[in-house]
Chains A and B, each alone.
Chain A
Amino acid sequence: MDNKVKDFIITTTESLEELERSLIVLENDPSRTHLVKEIFSKAHTIKGTCGFLELERLENIFHHLESLLEKMRDEPSGISSSATVMLDGVHHARDILKGLEAEGSEPEGDDTELLARLEEAYSREADQVERQESDQTQPQVVDNDSSLKDRSLKIDVETLDKIINMVGELVLTRNEFLERIQDDWDSPYLSAIQKLDFVTSNLQNESLKTRMQSISNIWDKLPSIIRDGCKKQNKKITLKTSGQETEVDRQVLQAIHDPFIHIIRNAIDHGIELPDERVEAQKPAEGTISLKAYHEGGHIILEVEDDGAGIDFERVKQKAIDKNLISAQDAQEATDRELVKFLFESGFSTSEEVSNISGRGIGMNIVMTEIEKIGGSVDVYSQPGKGTTIRVKIPLTLAILSALTFSADGQSFAIPQTSVSELVRIDEHNRELLGHVQNTKILRLRDTYLPLVNLTSVLNMTKKYYYESKEDFFILVAHVGETRFGIMVDDVQNTQEIAVKPCGSIVEKIGYYSGATILGDGRVILIIDPAGILDKVQLAGMSKLLEKMDHEQEDTQEQTQEEVIEQEKTHFLVFRGSDQHPQTVQLSLIARLEEIEREQIQERGEGYMLKYRDSVLPLVPYDDATLNGNPIQPIIVFSDGKRQMGLMVKAIDDVVEGVLNITSVGGKRDGVLGVSMINDQAMEVIDMNYYLKQAYPDWFDLERSDIQQNRETKILLVDSSQFFRELVKPTLETVGFIVRNAKDGEEALKLIQSNFKPDLIISDIVMPNLDGLGLAEKIRKSSALRDIKLIALTSLMGDEDRDKAMEAGFDKYLVKYNQEELLGAINELIRDEVKQ
Chain B
Amino acid sequence: MRSGEDRRKADKEPSTEQINRRSTVDRRRANNNEYITFYVGDQFIGVPIYDVQEVLTAQTICPVPSSSKNIAGIINLRGQIVTVFNMHHLLEIESKDAAGDEEKEYMHVIVQGETELYSFQVDAVGDVVTIAKESLAPPPTNLAKQWVKCCFGIHHINNHMLAIIDKNPLIEWVKDDVKNIREEMLTVSS
A residues adjacent to B (C-beta < 8 A): 165-166, 168-169, 172, 411, 458-461, 501-507, 509-513, 516, 518, 522-526, 535-538
Q: In the docked arrangement, what's the CA distance between A459 and B67, Å? A: 8
Contact call B71/A523, Cβ cutoff below 8 A: no
Contact call B185/A536, Cβ cutoff below 8 A: yes
Contact call B83/A506, Cβ cutoff below 8 A: yes
| B-side contacts of A166, CB under 8 Å | 79
- Of the listed residues A460, A504, A538, the one surrounded by the most CB atoms of chain B closer than 10 A to its CB is A504
Q: In the docked arrangement, what's the CA distance between A516 and B76, Å? A: 10
B138 at the interface (CB under 8 A from A): no
Q: In the docked arrangement, what's the CA distance between A502 and B178, Å? A: 17
B161 at the interface (CB under 8 A from A): no
Tell me whether A505 and B116 are in contact in the complex, defined as CB-CB below 8 angstroms, given that A169-B78, A511-B182 are known contacts: yes
Interface segment out of the listed B20-28, B57-65, B152-160: B57-65
Q: How large is the interface on B (under 10, 10 to 19, 20 to 34, 35 or more residues)?
A: 20 to 34
B82 at the interface (CB under 8 A from A): yes
Contact call A458/B74, Cβ cutoff below 8 A: no
* Minimum-distance CB pairs A-B, first 3: A459-B65, A524-B62, A169-B79
Q: In the docked arrangement, what's the CA distance between A236 and B62, Å? A: 58
| B-side contacts of A535, CB under 8 Å | 186
Q: In the docked arrangement, what's the CA distance between A536 and B182, Å? A: 9
| A-side contacts of B115, CB under 8 Å | 505
B140 to chain A, nearest CB (A): 30
| CB pairs A–B below 8 angstroms (13 shown) | A503-B64, A504-B82, A504-B83, A507-B64, A509-B182, A510-B67, A510-B181, A512-B66, A516-B74, A518-B76, A526-B62, A536-B186, A538-B189
| B-side contacts of A506, CB under 8 Å | 67, 71, 83, 174-175, 178
Q: In the docked arrangement, what's the CA distance between A165 and B79, Å? A: 8
Tell me whether A525 and B62 are in contact in the complex, defined as CB-CB below 8 angstroms, given that A506-B174, A516-B74, A536-B185 are known contacts: yes
Tell me whether A501 and B64 are in contact in the complex, defined as CB-CB below 8 angstroms, given that A506-B174, A507-B71 are known contacts: no
| B-side contacts of A509, CB under 8 Å | 175, 178-179, 182
Residue A524 contacts which of B66, B74, B189 (CB distance < 8 angstroms)? B74
Contact call B79/A504, Cβ cutoff below 8 A: no
Closest residue of chain B to A503, judged by CB?
B81
A227 to chain B, nearest CB (A): 39
Q: In the docked arrangement, what's the CA distance between A537 and B185, Å? A: 10
Contact call A536/B67, Cβ cutoff below 8 A: no
Tell me whether A411 and B189 are in contact in the complex, defined as CB-CB below 8 angstroms, given that A169-B78, A504-B81, A509-B182 are known contacts: no
Q: In the docked arrangement, what's the CA distance between A172 and B80, Å? A: 12
Closest residue of chain A to B80, judged by CB?
A501
Closest residue of chain B to A461, judged by CB?
B65
Q: In the docked arrangement, what's the CA distance between A538 and B83, Å? A: 28
| A-side contacts of B78, CB under 8 Å | 169
| A-side contacts of B36, CB under 8 Å | none
Contact call B65/A507, Cβ cutoff below 8 A: no
A525 to chain B, nearest CB (A): 6
| A-side contacts of B81, CB under 8 Å | 501-504, 507, 516, 524
| B-side contacts of A516, CB under 8 Å | 62, 74, 81
Q: Residues 146-190 of chain B: 1 if any A CB is under 8 Å from the residue's CB, otherwise 0?
A: 000000000000000000000000000011001101100110011
B111 at the interface (CB under 8 A from A): no
B47 at the interface (CB under 8 A from A): no
Contact call B74/A510, Cβ cutoff below 8 A: no
B87 at the interface (CB under 8 A from A): no
A648 to chain B, nearest CB (A): 35
B75 at the interface (CB under 8 A from A): yes
The A interface is mostly helix, strand or loop, or mixed, namely: mixed
| B-side contacts of A458, CB under 8 Å | 66
The B interface is mostly helix, strand or loop, or mixed, namely: mixed
Q: In the docked arrangement, what's the CA distance between A607 and B115, Å? A: 61
| A-side contacts of B75, CB under 8 Å | 524
Contact call B74/A504, Cβ cutoff below 8 A: yes
| B-side contacts of A526, CB under 8 Å | 62, 64, 74
Contact call B66/A523, Cβ cutoff below 8 A: no
| A-side contacts of B74, CB under 8 Å | 503-504, 507, 516, 524, 526
| B-side contacts of A538, CB under 8 Å | 189-190
Residue A510 contacts which of B64, B80, B82, B116 (CB distance < 8 angstroms)? B64
Q: In the docked arrangement, what's the CA distance between A502 and B80, Å? A: 8
Contact call A460/B79, Cβ cutoff below 8 A: no
A509 to chain B, nearest CB (A): 5
Q: In the docked arrangement, what's the CA distance between A511 and B83, Å? A: 15
Closest residue of chain B to A519, judged by CB?
B76
Closest residue of chain A to B113, judged by CB?
A505
Which B30-52 residues have C-beta < 8 A from chain A? Answer: none
B168 to chain A, nearest CB (A): 14
Q: In the docked arrangement, what's the CA distance between A518 and B76, Å? A: 7
Contact call A523/B60, Cβ cutoff below 8 A: yes
Q: In the docked arrangement, what's the CA distance between A172 and B179, Å? A: 33
Contact call A522/B71, Cβ cutoff below 8 A: no
Q: In the docked arrangement, what's the CA distance between A166 and B80, Å? A: 10
B179 to chain A, nearest CB (A): 6
| A-side contacts of B179, CB under 8 Å | 509
Contact call A507/B175, Cβ cutoff below 8 A: no
Contact call A411/B174, Cβ cutoff below 8 A: no
Tell me whether A536 and B62 are in contact in the complex, defined as CB-CB below 8 angstroms, given that A169-B79, A509-B179, A510-B182 are known contacts: no
Contacts A509-B179, A535-B186 given; 12 further ones with Cβ under 8 A? A166-B79, A460-B65, A461-B65, A504-B83, A504-B116, A504-B118, A506-B71, A506-B174, A507-B71, A510-B64, A536-B186, A538-B189
Contact call A411/B65, Cβ cutoff below 8 A: yes
| B-side contacts of A518, CB under 8 Å | 76, 79
| B-side contacts of A165, CB under 8 Å | 79
B104 to chain A, nearest CB (A): 18
Q: In the docked arrangement, what's the CA distance between A460 and B115, Å? A: 29
Closest residue of chain A to B70, judged by CB?
A506
Closest residue of chain A to B85, judged by CB?
A506
Q: Residues 111-152 of chain B: 1 if any A CB is under 8 Å from the residue's CB, otherwise 0?
A: 000011010000000000000000000000000000000000
B60 to chain A, nearest CB (A): 6
Closest residue of chain A to B65, judged by CB?
A459
| A-side contacts of B174, CB under 8 Å | 506
Q: In the docked arrangement, what's the CA distance between A189 and B115, Å? A: 40
| B-side contacts of A524, CB under 8 Å | 60, 62, 74-76, 81
| A-side contacts of B79, CB under 8 Å | 165-166, 168-169, 172, 501, 518
Closest residue of chain B to A173, judged by CB?
B79
| A-side contacts of B190, CB under 8 Å | 538
| B-side contacts of A172, CB under 8 Å | 79
Q: In the docked arrangement, what's the CA distance between A509 and B176, Å? A: 10
Contact call A507/B182, Cβ cutoff below 8 A: no
Closest residue of chain B to A501, judged by CB?
B81
| B-side contacts of A513, CB under 8 Å | 64
A185 to chain B, nearest CB (A): 29
Contact call A523/B62, Cβ cutoff below 8 A: yes
| A-side contacts of B182, CB under 8 Å | 509-511
B102 to chain A, nearest CB (A): 12
B86 to chain A, nearest CB (A): 12
Q: In the docked arrangement, what's the CA distance between A459 and B116, Å? A: 25
A202 to chain B, nearest CB (A): 20
Q: In the docked arrangement, what's the CA distance between A512 and B178, Å? A: 12
Contact call A510/B189, Cβ cutoff below 8 A: no
| A-side contacts of B185, CB under 8 Å | 536
- Of the listed residues B60, B81, B118, the one surrounded by the most CB atoms of chain A closer than 10 A to its CB is B81
- Of the listed residues A461, A510, A525, the one surrounded by the most CB atoms of chain B closer than 10 A to its CB is A510
| A-side contacts of B83, CB under 8 Å | 503-504, 506-507
Contact call B178/A510, Cβ cutoff below 8 A: yes
A526 to chain B, nearest CB (A): 7
Residue B60 contacts which of A168, A503, A504, A522 (CB distance < 8 angstroms)? A522
| A-side contacts of B189, CB under 8 Å | 536-538
Closest residue of chain A to B171, judged by CB?
A506
B1 to chain A, nearest CB (A): 28
Q: In the docked arrangement, what's the CA distance between A501 and B116, Å? A: 13
